[in-house]
């Protein structure tokens, strides 16, 4: 049995939890993806602080060369990534409908 002194506290807690469960947060607008790529035409070869296009070649390590080749082979380019994002957004629209 619950002591009579704890009943109001317990009741207040149950009411507070019930009210908190009813609160639905407002939907947040997702930022739109930019279609342009601001650094796409930027020449990085002569800029200090920018890594070279094949920076790992400086280490002269065949194992690192192999790992980078494997990583680049499985990595999507920007067009593929945008297609995946568009597909995911369409799936969200369908699920919300």
Average pLDDT value for the chain: 78
Q: Is residue 67 part of a domain?
A: yes
Whether 37 is in a domain gets the answer no
Q: For the chain, how many residues are written?
A: 97
Mean pLDDT of 40-65: 78
Share of the chain above pLDDT 70, in %: 70
Per residue in 35-52, pLDDT tens? 666 666 666 566 666 677
Q: Is residue 66 part of a domain?
A: yes
Which pLDDT belongs to residue 90? 94
Q: Considering its fold, how many domains does the chain have in total?
A: 1
d(CA 82, CA 15): 46
User: Is residue 10 in a domain?
Assistant: no
* Global confidence as pTM: 0.35
Domain of residue 76: give its range.
58-97
Burial (CB count <10 Å: 0-12, 13-18, 19+), residue 80? exposed
> Cα separations (Å) of 81 from 51, 69, 76, 77, 78?
23, 19, 6, 6, 5
User: Is residue 79 situated within a structural domain?
Assistant: yes
């Amino acid at each position: 049995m619950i002591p009579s002194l704890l009943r109001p506290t317990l009741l207040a807690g149950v009411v507070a939890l019930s009210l908190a469960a009813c609160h639905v947060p407002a939907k947040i607008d997702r930022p739109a993806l930019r279609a342009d790529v601001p650094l796409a035409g930027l020449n990085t070869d002569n800029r200090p602080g920018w890594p070279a296009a094949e920076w790992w070649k400086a280490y002269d390590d065949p194992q690192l060369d192999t790992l980078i080749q494997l990583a680049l082979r499985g990595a999507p380019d920007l067009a593929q990534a945008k297609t995946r994002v568009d597909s995911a957004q369409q799936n969200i629209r369908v699920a919300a409908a």
